[in-house]
Amino acid sequence: MTNWAYLLISVIAEAVGTTALAASKGFTQPIATGIMLVSYIAALFFLSLTFRTIPVGVAYAAWCGIGIVLISILAWAVHGQKLDSPAVIGIAFIVIGVVILNVFSKATPHG
């Protein structure tokens, strides 16, 4: 279970980094740029730890899918981005795909 916790930490760090990247305004805002750099380094470090037991394809698919959802939520909360119905439906399909991959796929080690 620890590796899934590492994956979750990695996703959160990546989402924070991407939100900070948008706030950095092309690297002109030093604090946001610093947060982005630290967050991306942490995201990649914790993602690398998940590869010890979770196959790369499965971990990366989950990382991307969960990250898209989290970044969309942060973009709405922090930057006021609005999502239309097709965007919400698309994000729902991503969530469904991640659930199918993790619950039903034999490529994912359980336990």
Q: Choose among 92, 60, 74, 56: nearest CA to 17.
A: 74
Side chain identity at 63, as an amino acid letter? Answer: W
- DSSP codes, 32-82: HHHHHHHHHHHHHHHHHHHTTTS-HHHHHHHHHHHHHHHHHHHHHHHH---
Q: Choose among 65, 55, 83: nearest CA to 15.
A: 65
**Residue 15 token pair:** 């989402």
Burial class (CB in 10 A: 0-12, 13-18, 19+), 22: middle
Output 4 or 108, whichever has higher pLDDT.
4
pLDDT given at position 111: 47
pLDDT given at position 108: 55
Q: Any idea where the domains of the chain sit in the sequence?
A: 2-104
The proportion of the chain whose per-residue pLDDT surpasses 70, expressed as a percent, equals: 95
The proportion of the chain whose per-residue pLDDT surpasses 90, expressed as a percent, equals: 55
Instruction: State pLDDT tens for residues 5-41.
Output: 999 999 999 999 999 999 999 999 999 999 999 999 9
**Confidence band of 61 (pLDDT split at 50, 70, 90):** confident
Q: Span 72-100, mean pLDDT?
A: 89
